[in-house]
Amino acid sequence: MNIAVILAGGVGNRVGANIPKQFIEVLGKPVLAYTVEAFQNCPEIDAIEVVCIKSYIGYMDEMKKKYGFDKMLWVAEGGDTFQESVLNGIKNLEDKVSRDDIVLVHFGASPFIEDDIITDAIRVCKDKGNAISTTDFYVLSGMKDNTNSVCDPDNASSTYIDRDTIACMSTPHAFRYGFIDDIYKEAIETGIINEVEPHTTTLMYKMGKKIYFSKGSQTNIKITRKEDLDLFEGYVLMKQRRAAGKHHGDDEPN
């Protein structure tokens, strides 16, 4: 079984809205609904779990009914960080899935996800045991003099980074359930979970695990700022226009 674990536990302050960014409506539909829909429509996905802000858990039932998300079988309460939310989602699945089932962890605020990215993550995970949607790095890059934002007028760059050495990782992160369950149990028992940045990938690096790459896309971004919402609105309109064109035969040869 292939299970999508969609993380909707964040607040998303940088968007500047008065509600969490994954619940902001784009063309009358919440961002999260677009994300869930992508996994709902993927033939290789068997079930969906949403890890959600506590105050929105009741709303998820309404969303499920409104959009016909019959693959959404479970809703778990989110945590304060990516890692805590993943851990809550994994624990919630403990008596529901087998160790060989594949879990795909994905941001609820990453609605640009396409079917081919989902299916390739599953393919690589079946072969290697894990897979992270990844792209090469295509722009010039340099190391910041400090960890502050580039908007800091006192920050600058003095060191070049060879972009050919950089792998840009996004979601979904795909794991065999037994693998990710063991990772978190070991991280908690050893205390490693408190020593690294709160992401599953950082745990894997710390524990000497290899991360395998699956197909990525530069468009598969996480909505972080208001301009990302504008990009996504244009993306939705483009897809709607293409779908309408196919329906009317505009793409058929003369």
Q: What pLDDT, on the 0 to 100 scale, is given for residue 197?
A: 86
- Rounded to whole angstroms, the Cα distance separating 50 from 68 reads 15
Task: Tell which residue, 178, 159, 169, 163, has the closest CA to residue 205.
Answer: 169
Return the C-alpha torsion angle 17, 114, 78, 19, nearest 10.
10
- In angstroms and rounded to an integer, the radius of gyration of the C-alpha atoms of the chain is 19
Q: What pLDDT, on the 0 to 100 scale, is given for residue 254?
A: 43
Q: DSSP of 181-206, one letter per residue?
A: HHHHHHHHHHTGGGTS-SSHHHHHHH
Q: Are 66 and 25 in contact (CB under 8 A)?
A: no
**CA distances for 137 relative to 3, 107, 143, angstroms:** 29, 21, 14
- Rounded to whole angstroms, the Cα distance separating 15 from 154 reads 25
Inter-helix orientation angle 31-40/115-128, to 10°: 60
Residue ranges of the chain with per-residue pLDDT less than 70:
11-17, 247-254
Q: What pLDDT, on the 0 to 100 scale, is given for residue 19?
A: 86
Q: What pLDDT, on the 0 to 100 scale, is given for residue 165?
A: 95
Strand order in the sheet with 213-214: 72-77, 47-52, 2-8, 102-107, 167-176, 130-136, 213-214
- Rounded to whole angstroms, the Cα distance separating 45 from 106 reads 13
Q: What pLDDT, on the 0 to 100 scale, is given for residue 60?
A: 95
Q: What pLDDT, on the 0 to 100 scale, is given for residue 250?
A: 57
Q: Are 161 and 243 in contact (CB under 8 A)?
A: no
